[in-house]
Amino acid sequence: WQKYEFKKTSILPADYKLSNENGYPELFENVGRSKYKCLGYIKSNLDQNKFNELFKKFSNYPHNIKNTLQTFLEVTRYPHYEKVSSNILAYFLNASGQHGMKDLFLKSLVETVIDNQYLTDNMETQVITEYPTLKGGRIDILIETDLFLIIIENKINAPVYNNLEDYYITIEEVKKENIENTKTIIPIVLSINEDNYLNTEKSSEFYYITYEKFLSRVKANLGDYIDTANSEWLIFLRNFINTMQNLREEGKMGHDEHNDRIDFFDKNETVIRELIEEHKILMEFFKKEVGAVVREIGDRLNQRTFKIYSSNIGLKDSIASAYYTFSREESAEKNIGKAYEIVRCLKGWEILLNAGTKNSAVIVKAWLSENKIPIESEEIVGYEHYVPLWSCKDNGLNVKEVADKAVSLFNMVSK
């Protein structure tokens, strides 16, 4: 659809309506005494084959990318903060924590980097966050058990730029303070993605692992701890695991599952923009039609004020609407809901009562039935809980016909 504007006034002997005399729809405004001002016309200029080809291409590329469910931690907008994730991790690593999962996290972590033969049941653990180093740094998490001193440098988004040598030497000095201390130092860099450390100089002492590898061990071992686990903390555990997984996917820019989508929009950008523009023009046409209906019915409904709005979210919501909000007195006197709406959509025309809530919609329907006012459908539709009074799936219906129906139904519900 391509829009053009008239800069003239046309006189027509016919009733106020959309005229198709020239082979395309023209919209006229009644200015009195059988005079009609031509507001403009919309001339068909669609290259249907071009858009059909676009739709064909669209249907052929994969659409199986799942919409990732947002987790509670993501809603709080804190999972990107390393300190927050470190605190959660430290809690689960504490074998005596109220979570009831004992050494699930500790065992899984050690299994990820070394042979699990060194593990013993019911190990005493002490977990410290932000442990100070000799050169003024901070170790994200330090775990001391009967057998190990475990250093964890936790990385979410940032690369590994820390002085890992300082971390290691600090814990070596801690170990030397006690001559009898034979505990094994296990230094770990734990990151969301391998990209966090691929382009940095690695420390030879540290083990480099990802959350994916570590949490897969947690999930594999979880069954052995179900009986003692606190049910509420199991929910938090699942949320934490899903959050780390989502962060990993978020960081994989340009991964294969989106390449087809990127390629499709890149190659067809011009046609897609044209299609979006055509849709905008169509919506403008709908708004003008609705405006014409409102002007037609104004004098016949005692100058009641109808407001016009449009929804252009997507094809499903491609509507223009005129609505009259009932006063408190009108709503109190009759159970007719919040508003009376005239809707122009892709399927044609609709007239509805906006009930506002589901309970109100039930009351509105009962009142309509009691007063023998017919309704289009028993179904209550939309989040505003609309009660449909009438619909017509005829895009050729003229303004006067719609206005006549709108006035008739309005008088029935407001009498």
Question: What is the C-alpha to C-alpha distance for residues 36 and 317, in angstroms, rounded to an integer?
Answer: 31
pLDDT value of residue 50: 80
- pLDDT tens-place values along the chain, 415 residues long: 333 333 334 443 344 445 555 444 555 555 665 555 555 554 455 567 788 888 887 777 666 555 667 888 888 777 567 888 999 999 999 998 999 999 999 999 999 998 665 565 667 889 999 999 999 999 999 999 888 899 999 988 778 888 899 999 999 988 888 766 788 899 999 998 886 666 667 778 899 999 999 999 999 999 999 999 999 999 999 999 999 888 887 766 545 666 777 888 888 888 888 888 888 888 888 888 898 899 888 778 876 788 888 775 544 567 889 988 888 777 767 777 889 999 998 888 999 999 888 888 888 898 899 889 988 887 877 767 889 999 998 877 888 899 999 999 999 988 7
pLDDT value of residue 6: 36
What is the reported pTM? Answer: 0.52
Could you tell me the sign of the dihedral formed by the alpha carbons of 350, 353, 359, 363, in that order?
A: negative
Q: 20: which 2 tokens?
A: 């198709």
pLDDT value of residue 179: 63
How many residues appear in the chain? 415
pLDDT value of residue 374: 87
pLDDT value of residue 27: 58
324-343 CB burial, b ≥16 within 10 A, e <16? bebeeeebeebbbbbbbbbb
